């Protein structure tokens, strides 16, 4: 088919979507100041210290929805993430073994890395990214952020090292493929433990705070003066490990594949 036909098809789809949204989502201009009832329910109950029947123990409504009200969905999204990365590993593994041994002989490996200025800046940025991503992940239950955002932020750090130094420099500093894979698995196991622990008390899967109909008392929201946010902090930390390490695995694989194909960073053969 010709490109013009494709353009017309895309425009028709665009116009139809606009019409649907204008008819269905907008409503009248008067109702636009309010949100849907479900959203209002979540906002009202997420940190309702007066009526704790449906509360999630987190003042951050997005994290509360993510890991409490809609937690099963997030667990399965983690499964989708796992499956996609497993697919990448399966596709890339054929090219993984050979250059790993070749690379060690070469010292710093293909590409001598970038200039001294870039490398010095990378060192500083690496520490900053590490602190920022941990901060985003660990404070995900009181401020915007969480495991997904923190893990994605952290994954940038090894990417910088690959660009400024080389994959081997990164492997020498401890970010090897197998080690990140092991840490990813540790994150998954931690996630499963937090998700399944309430079952030991005959509670619900993924239960965070005490709920009607469940004998599980809920994860502690406060520990003395510390605010912990129930299970959300553990789930965020586990998800941080899973997401961050899975992306590191993918970046290492990409770099190795690039060398196997003979590109050495140039792409075309």
- Least distance (Å) between residue 240 CB and another protein: 11
Q: Which of 22, 72, 127, 199 binds another protein (CB under 8 A)?
A: 22
Residue range at the interface with another protein (CB under 8 A); choices 26-34, 100-108, 127-135, 172-180? 26-34
- Least distance (Å) between residue 81 CB and another protein: 5
Question: Strands 226-227 and 222-223, how do they pair?
Answer: antiparallel
Closer CB to another protein, residue 33 or residue 224? 33
Q: Are 130 and 154 in contact (CB under 8 A)?
A: yes
Residue 144 DSSP class: S
Residue 139 DSSP class: T
Give the whole-angstrom CA distance, residue 92 versus residue 99. Answer: 12
Q: Which two tokens stand for residue 126?
A: 């690496």
Residue 164 DSSP class: H
Closer CB to another protein, residue 86 or residue 196? 86
Site string for another protein, 64-83 (x = CB under 8 A): xxx---x--xx--x--xx--
Question: Is there binding between residue 168 and another protein (CB under 8 A)?
Answer: no
Place of tokens 């406060």: 222
Residue range at the interface with another protein (CB under 8 A); choices 31-39, 170-178, 201-209, 210-218? 31-39
Residue of 78, 54, 50 lying closest to 66 (CA atoms): 78
Closer CB to another protein, residue 16 or residue 199? 16
Residue of 161, 128, 134 lying closest to 150 (CA atoms): 134
Q: Which of 52, 62, 113, 125 binds another protein (CB under 8 A)?
A: 62
CA dist list (Å): 236 to 63, 71, 144, 171 = 9, 12, 12, 26
Residue of 105, 94, 40 lying closest to 69 (CA atoms): 40
Q: Which two tokens stand for residue 87?
A: 């697919």
Provide the β-strand partners of residue 222.
227
- Least distance (Å) between residue 242 CB and another protein: 10
- Least distance (Å) between residue 100 CB and another protein: 17
- Least distance (Å) between residue 14 CB and another protein: 4
Give the whole-angstrom CA distance, residue 59 versus residue 229. Answer: 8
Closer CB to another protein, residue 43 or residue 118? 43
Question: Is there binding between residue 165 and another protein (CB under 8 A)?
Answer: no
Burial (Cβ within 10 Å: 0-12, 13-18, ≥19) of residue 187? buried
Site string for another protein, 83-122 (x = CB under 8 A): -xx-xx--xx------------------------------
> Who contacts 1 (Cβ-Cβ below 8 Å, separation ≥6)?
none
Binding site for another protein (CB under 8 A): 3, 6-7, 9-11, 13-14, 17-18, 21-22, 25-26, 29, 32-36, 38-40, 42-44, 46-50, 59-66, 70, 73-74, 77, 80-81, 84-85, 87-88, 91-92, 142-144, 146, 148-149, 151-152, 227, 243, 246-247, 250, 253-254, 257, 261, 269
């Amino acid at each position: 088919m010709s490109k013009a036909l494709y353009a017309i098809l895309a425009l028709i789809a665009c116009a139809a979507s606009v019409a649907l949204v204008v008819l269905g989502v907008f409503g009248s201009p008067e109702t636009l100041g309010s949100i849907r009832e479900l959203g209002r329910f979540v906002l009202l109950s997420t940190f309702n210290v007066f009526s704790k029947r449906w509360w999630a123990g987190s003042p951050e409504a997005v994290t509360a929805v993510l890991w409490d009200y809609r937690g099963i969905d997030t667990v399965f999204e983690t499964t989708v993430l796992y499956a996609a990365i497993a697919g990448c590993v399966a596709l890339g593994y054929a090219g993984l073994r050979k250059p790993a041994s070749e690379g060690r002989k070469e010292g710093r490996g293909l590409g001598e890395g970038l200039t001294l200025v870039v490398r010095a800046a990378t060192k500083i940025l690496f520490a900053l990214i590490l602190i920022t991503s941990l901060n985003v992940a660990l404070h995900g239950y009181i401020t915007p952020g969480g495991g997904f955002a923190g893990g994605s932020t952290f994954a940038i750090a090894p990417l910088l090292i690959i660009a400024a130094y080389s994959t081997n420099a990164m492997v020498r500093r401890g970010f090897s493929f197998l080690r990140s894979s092991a840490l990813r698995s540790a994150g998954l196991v931690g996630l499963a433990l937090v998700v399944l622990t309430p079952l030991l008390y005959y509670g619900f899967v993924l239960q965070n705070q005490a709920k009607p109909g469940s004998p599980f008392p809920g994860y502690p929201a406060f520990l003395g003066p510390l605010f912990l946010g129930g299970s959300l902090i553990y789930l965020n930390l586990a998800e941080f490990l899973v997401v961050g390490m899975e992306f590191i695995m993918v970046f290492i694989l990409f770099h190795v594949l690039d060398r196997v194909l003979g590109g050495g960073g140039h792409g075309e053969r």
